[in-house]
Every structure is written in structure tokens, then in C-alpha cells.
Amino acid sequence: PNETETIVVVTGNVRAWRHFIEMRASAHSEVEIRALAVRVFLCLRVLEPILFGDYKIEALPDGTFSVATATPKV
């Protein structure tokens, strides 16, 4: 069924995680995947601040958040 809780393990290199954040934490993505991508970003920024420190969280008019960077595709 839709939105059934499950446990998932995902791996990726830095480039893959940056791509995921740029695509799925953008203001243009759907709310559910954007919420997940923002949480992933927050975890990665704590673990690797140099690699993910260029991203900024932006509040959207609907009360959700997005993540953006001035230097995409590094």
C-alpha cells in the first residue's frame, strides 16, 4: 500500500548524493521526496560539511523546505 513504512539502506558516492539533493530537494520536486531529500541533506551536511556546505535551505510558501546551491554540478 502507499506510504507503508519500511527500512531501506542506500549507498552512494559524493557525486551521486549531490545529484540526488539537487534533483529531489529542489522546489520543483514532489513534497514527499523533497522532505526525504532535505533530511538526507541535513545528515550529510553534519557528516561532511566541506562537501555539502555550499547548499542552502530555503523556506517555501507552502511551509516546506527546499535545498539549492549556487554551484550545481561541481
Catalytically annotated residues: 24
Alpha-carbon distance of 25 to 39, in angstroms, equals 9
Residue tagged 554551484 (cell numbers):
71
Residue tagged 502507499 (cell numbers):
2
Angle, CA of 4, 17 and 61, to the nearest 5°: 65
